[in-house]
Every structure is written in C-alpha cells, then in structure tokens.
Amino acid sequence: MVSDAPIVPVERIERLILFVRGEKVILDAGLATLYGVETGALTRAVRRNIDRFPEDFMFQLTREEAERLRCQIGISNRRGGRRYLPYAFTEHGVAMLSSVLNSPRAVQVNIEIMRASVRMRRMLGEYEELSRKLDAMERNYDAQFKVVFKAIHQLIASPAPPKRRQIGFRTSDEAKQG
C-alpha cells in the first residue's frame, strides 16, 4: 500500500526557504538534510555537474551574506563546521538536483519542494491582492476623512469675534468710509 503522506512535510520545507539577493532559495545544508545526504556529498555531486547549475540556479553566498544569515538563523561558524561559504539553490536549481542526485528520495523531495514553492507563490499573490485592496481602501477613506477632518477643524477653530459697533459719534467723513 502506497501512502499519500508527503516524504517531507511542506511546513518543514517552507521553513528552509530564505530570501537572498531577492530570490527564494534553500541553502545546501537544508537540502542535504531533506535528501538524507551529507552536505559535502551534495556539493560534490553539484561540482561534478557544475554545467547544470548556472548562476540563476545556484550561487555561493558572500561572506557578508553568510554572516548575516548565521546571525539570523544560526548557520554554524568557521570553528565548528563549514570550511566554505554555503551554496544557495533557487527553485530551478532544486529541480536540477533531482537529476544530479538521482535517487527515489531525491525525486520525492523535489516534488514536495515544488509544491511548497507553488503554495508560497499563491500566498504571496494573495498578500499582494490584499495589499492592493488595503491601499484602495486607504485612498477612499482618506478622501472621506479629509471632509470629516475639515469639519472638525472648523468646529474647533475659535470663531472670529463678531463685529462690534463702535460707541460714539462719527464724523461725516468717517461715516462715508465705513
């Protein structure tokens, strides 16, 4: 009996997806964990097939990017683990990995990663639509509230004192002027 349950929960994959250089990526160590291989084995397989991984499929992080991520998510530092900068794989790079690793688990993991990517894309699309709706509401309410605020300002503004008639006599020249 074949189980319909995913080999890797989508939520676990979503936690591994990071934004680096404006791209959604998964780092080599995260992919190695998902595929059930050591990070070194994954990177060696990639290096043997480097022509399959152009810059838009995979790139190596700079020292600054790696340091920033290390502080944010706890990537190991030089003393404890890695001797090289991590590789980041885009969605296309992850798809290419299944052909490089060539195992049944790699195929199944790739299917789940693609599903997670589609799910995230949908969520981002819904977020963008919600953002557009909120912007439209703000513009609409700004116009409506502008009238309300103007009325409030008029109400709280001190009224001009009524014109008082001067007491006394006026000369004929003053009466003609005013």
Q: Please list, in sequence order, all residues whose beta carbon lies within 8 angstroms of the beta carbon of residue 6, skipping any fewer than 6 positions away.
A: 108, 112, 115
pLDDT at residue 57 in the model: 92
Q: Is residue 84 part of a domain?
A: yes
Per-residue HEC secondary structure of the chain comes to CCCCCCCCCHHHHHHHCEEECCEEEEEHHHHHHHHCCCHHHHHHHHHHCHHHCCCCCEEECCHHHHHHHHHHHCCCCCCCCCCCCCEEECHHHHHHHHHHHCCHHHHHHHHHHHHHHHHHHHHHHHHHHHHHHHHHHHHHHHHHHHHHHHHHHHHHCCCCCCCCCCCCCCCHHHHHHC
Q: Is residue 4 part of a domain?
A: no
Q: Is residue 177 part of a domain?
A: no
pLDDT at residue 13 in the model: 77
Q: Is residue 55 part of a domain?
A: yes
pLDDT at residue 2 in the model: 46
Token code pair at residue 8: 């890797």
Q: Taken in order 141, 147, 152, 158, is the CA torsion positive or negative?
A: positive
pLDDT at residue 77 in the model: 53
Task: Output Rg (C-alpha) for the chain, integer angstroms.
Answer: 33
> pTM for the whole thing?
0.58
Q: Please list, in sequence order, all residues whose beta carbon lies within 8 angstroms of the beta carbon of residue 28, skipping any fewer than 6 positions away.
A: 39, 42, 43, 46, 86, 87, 88, 89
Number of domains in the chain: 1
pLDDT at residue 101 in the model: 80
Q: Please list, in sequence order, all residues whose beta carbon lies within 8 angstroms of the beta carbon of residue 112, skipping any fewer than 6 positions away.
A: 6, 7, 8, 10, 13
Mean pLDDT, consecutive 10-residue stretches, the chain (178 aa), reads 58 83 90 88 92 93 88 60 85 83 76 77 74 74 71 70 71 70
Q: Cα angle vertex 27, ends 29, 61, to 5°?
A: 115
Residue 64, amino acid: E
Q: Is residue 35 part of a domain?
A: yes
Q: Is residue 142 part of a domain?
A: no
What CATH number has the domain bearing residue 19? Answer: 3.10.260
pLDDT at residue 1 in the model: 42
Q: What is the span of the domain harbouring residue 121?
A: 10-125
pLDDT at residue 44 in the model: 92
